[in-house]
Amino acid sequence: MSGYQYDEKEDFYGRKVKVLGATFEEGKPEGKQNWRAKLVTREEKLGYIKTALRYWYGKDWYGSEKRKQEI
């Protein structure tokens, strides 16, 4: 757990708990990221695209996306 900053907060019952603080690096990105350069094989690229398509067009949404649709 070294290297991370923790904050102390209260939970719903009023108990003090440690929560993970900010984990991002300060500053701005140096440029655009090319997802195609990260994925080497054809299978990796197809898997990435299938996952993205399932996220946007799938009927079985999970988590916060599903809650947003129910409003």
Tell me whether residue 18 is in a domain: no
Tell me whether residue 28 is in a domain: no
Total domains present in the chain: 1
Tokens standing for 19? 């929560």
Tell me whether residue 19 is in a domain: no
- Over residues 20-63, the pLDDT tens digits come to 888 877 888 788 888 778 888 999 988 888 887 777 766 665 54
Check residue 16 and give its pLDDT: 94
Tell me whether residue 67 is in a domain: yes
Whether this prediction's pTM lies above 0.85 is answered by: no
Tell me whether residue 54 is in a domain: yes
Give φ, ψ of 6 to 5 degrees: -115, 145
- The partner residues of 6 in beta bridges, in order of sequence, read 20
Who has greater pLDDT, 70 or 48? 48
Tell me whether residue 14 is in a domain: no
Structural domain boundaries enclosing 58: 35-71
* CA separation for the pair 22, 6 (Å, rounded): 8
Tell me whether residue 70 is in a domain: yes
